[in-house]
């Protein structure tokens, strides 16, 4: 399949793909950091929580820097790469993903800082959502890797991304109801927690949108096989 890529894709496109793949991997690492951050909110002191949050923030900044480099390279290519706008769209979506994750983490951090109880029930609610989000992102990331070697399988992956986003919608609606029941007597806590869940749900939508763009690229490449 490497020969196929050399025949149908320019050196410039190969470089863009590698940079985009690197950006996607860094975004995935940020999501994993977020999962670890959620886990340390249970039975840990302020210093441990603050350290986990700073780790996530540091990763986020690296994603931002990498995104800028990808976008600058795409601009320099000019008209040399026909699909550059789609690659740019995916890069921007990956950056939005970590921005939203940081937003969710900050609100959870504020939840703890205000001494609201993040008990096992809340942890389970958020963790279930995050695990399904990671599943969706993994499907997207694997599909991105398949764009080079097997665009038809990439298309199948993107179909699964859509299904996983629909599952996340169901989890979100169920979790929202549980939050209202549990935190009805503490409106500030409810608002902070709902904001955090809204940000996580936004990530699911962003990944789905990036998946639609990737699917289009894969359809184009599959047609050339």
Please give the tally of structural domains in the chain.
Answer: 1
Alpha helix (H) residue ranges in the chain: 2-8, 11-40, 46-77, 84-113, 120-149, 151-182, 187-223
Residue 152 is encoded by which pair of tokens? Answer: 């038809």
User: Is the pTM higher than 0.85?
Assistant: yes
Token pair of 54 as six digits: 């700073």
Domain that holds residue 218: 9-223
> Which residues, other chains included, contact 120 with Cβ-Cβ below 8 Å and sequence gap of 6+?
42
The predicted-structure confidence for 59-69, as pLDDT tens digits, reads as follows 999 999 999 99
Mean pLDDT of the chain: 90
Whether 148 has a pLDDT exceeding 90, the answer reads no
**In a domain? residue 3:** no
CA gyration radius for the chain?
19
Is 1 domain-assigned? no
Query: What is the per-residue pLDDT across 80-122, written as a single tens digit (0 to 9) for each?
Result: 677 888 999 999 999 999 999 999 999 999 999 999 989 999 9
For residues 195-208, average pLDDT: 96
Question: What is the pLDDT confidence band of residue 149, given thresholds at 50, 70 and 90?
Answer: confident
Residue 109 lies in a domain: yes
* The pLDDT of residue 224: 67
Three-state secondary-structure class, residue 42: coil
2 assigned to some structural domain: no
CA distances to 9, 34, 106, 113, 203 from 130, in Å: 36, 8, 15, 21, 10
Q: Say which CATH number the domain at 33 has.
A: 1.20.58.220
Percent of the chain with pLDDT over 90: 74
Instruction: Read off the pLDDT of residues 53-90 as tens digits, 9 standing for 90 and up.
Output: 999 999 999 999 999 998 988 888 877 677 888 999 99
Sign of CA dihedral 79, 63, 210, 104: negative
Average pLDDT over residues 15-41: 93
pLDDT above 90 (res 43): no
pLDDT exceeds cutoff 50 at 211? yes
What is the mean pLDDT of the segment spanning 165-177? 91
77 CB-near residues (< 8 Å, 6+ apart): 12, 16, 84
């Amino acid at each position: 399949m490497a020969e196929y890529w050399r025949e149908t894709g320019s050196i410039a496109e190969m470089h863009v793909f590698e940079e985009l793949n690197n950006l996607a991997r860094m975004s995935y690492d940020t999501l994993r950091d977020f999962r670890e951050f959620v886990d340390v909110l249970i039975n840990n002191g302020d210093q441990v929580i603050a350290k986990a949050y700073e780790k996530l923030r540091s990763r986020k900044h690296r994603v931002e820097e990498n995104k800028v480099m990808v976008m600058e390279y795409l601009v320099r290519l000019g008209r040399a790469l026909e699909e550059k706008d789609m690659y740019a769209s995916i890069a921007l979506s990956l950056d939005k993903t970590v921005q939203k994750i940081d937003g969710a983490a900050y609100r959870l951090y504020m939840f703890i800082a205000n001494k609201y109880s993040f008990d096992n029930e809340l942890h389970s609610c958020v963790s279930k959502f995050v695990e399904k989000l990671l599943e969706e992102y993994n499907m997207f990331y694997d599909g991105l890797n398949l764009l080079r070697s097997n665009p038809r399988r990439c298309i199948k992956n993107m179909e699964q991304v859509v299904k996983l986003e629909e599952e996340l919608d169901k989890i979100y609606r169920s979790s929202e109801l549980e939050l209202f029941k549990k935190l009805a007597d503490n409106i500030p806590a409810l608002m902070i927690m709902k904001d955090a869940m809204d940000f996580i749900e936004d990530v699911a939508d962003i990944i789905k949108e990036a998946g639609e763009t990737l699917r289009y690229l894969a359809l184009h490449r599959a047609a050339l096989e």
